Copies of this chain bind each other. A is one copy, B any other.
């Protein structure tokens, strides 16, 4: 559990989840990345062999997190302390899987660009390809330093693969527990781990399926252009055409006075990955997130 406070936080029936109820902080964006480390190691270890470099860099990442944790107690927010403790564990591993759910969401995978080959071993049809930019997430905190190191060494002409794979695995809707779907999710993860040779002679294989990719830049939030009651028309995972209706917004306060029902559409071909969890929205509420410029992986 990464969010021990939010997951016990209720207001009405639903669970607040990933936000600090006090400050609104998104706990999934509190991780730490020291951008200096990679260039420092590329210089200092330019003659070291790969294994020594890997061991030293891993130790440096852990020690860097520990330094953050060991500062004066009063310097750490609730979320930062939790994140750093998780990250200290994560840096010890070569594979980091951050299992998530979203409000109302289809399965999708956050996958760093260099690891798209591995994405084919998860049974997840939607893959978000992310670049080497740190934005506070656990998966990025795990792979960015290694990716930076790999790039720094490439500039010296040395090939040094990214030594770590990290993914955020979005398993679906957070308020839905389905044990048979959970079994499928486990198979999917086992298939990936088998590919990474975590097991010996294990039978886990990926399903044959079409996997769609999308660059992070092309992952587009669609905010409600007006407030009201929403009928969501684009099915999760559904491929919609530019200009097709994706939602209807009913504004009861305009009933009998002007057009109370508005049809919304999106100006690009897209796949609907998630939508807002409630039928009641404000102007500017995130209605949908869409994959655009989709390609087959």
Contacts and interface: CB of A to CB of B under 8 A. Distances in A.
B24 A23 contact: yes
Copies of this chain, count: 4
Contacts of A279: 174-177
Interface string A163-191: 00000000000111111000000000000
Interface in A52-105: 72-81, 103
A26 to B, nearest CB: 6
A286 B177 contact: no
A276 to B, nearest CB: 6
Given A10-B21, A15-B278, A22-B282, A74 B248 contact: no
A133 interface: no
Interface stretch (A106-114, A119-127, A222-230): A222-230
A222 B77 CA distance: 9
Contact of A5 (B5, B74, B282): B282
Given A74-B222, A223-B76, A267-B72, A280 B15 contact: yes
11 contacts: A8-B8, A9-B10, A11-B16, A12-B16, A24-B26, A72-B267, A74-B266, A76-B284, A177-B229, A177-B230, A179-B250
The 5 nearest A-B residue pairs measured at CB: A24-B24, A78-B284, A11-B11, A73-B225, A14-B14
